[in-house]
Amino acid sequence: MRSRSDILARANRIVVKLGSGLLTDDRNRLAADRIRDLGRQMIQLRQAGYELVLVSSGAVAAGMAELDLRQASVPPGSPNSRPVPPSARAN
């Protein structure tokens, strides 16, 4: 079995998956320091010649925190349901 460093040495492109848990803090707000650190690491990879593809589910968590929403989907009529503000609706 090849080691991770062997695989990376032969790679041209790296897919970076950043989930909500990595991009947010314990209060579900964006973790700016962590995001800055990840950005620096990605810059180093680009400078080393790698092509990067960034995939993130963190945008949903960021939007929910900004809109003060607790979860992405709440069944209508549940105790936590409330109207979705127009800014949070997909058009």
Largest CA distance in the chain: 54
pTM of structure: 0.57
pLDDT in tens, 62-83: 677 777 776 555 555 544 455 5
Judge contact between 74 and 49, C-beta under 8 A: no
pLDDT value, residue 37:
95
Q: How confident is the model at residue 87 (pLDDT cuts 50, 70, 90)?
A: low
Judge contact between 45 and 14, C-beta under 8 A: yes
pLDDT in tens, 14-70: 988 888 788 888 887 889 999 999 999 999 999 999 999 988 766 666 677 777 776
Residue 75 in tokens: 């069944």
For residues 54 and 18, give the distance between their C-alpha atoms in angstroms, rounded to a whole number: 7
List, in order, residues 6 or more apart from 58 with CB less than 8 Å away. 18, 19, 20, 22, 23, 24, 30
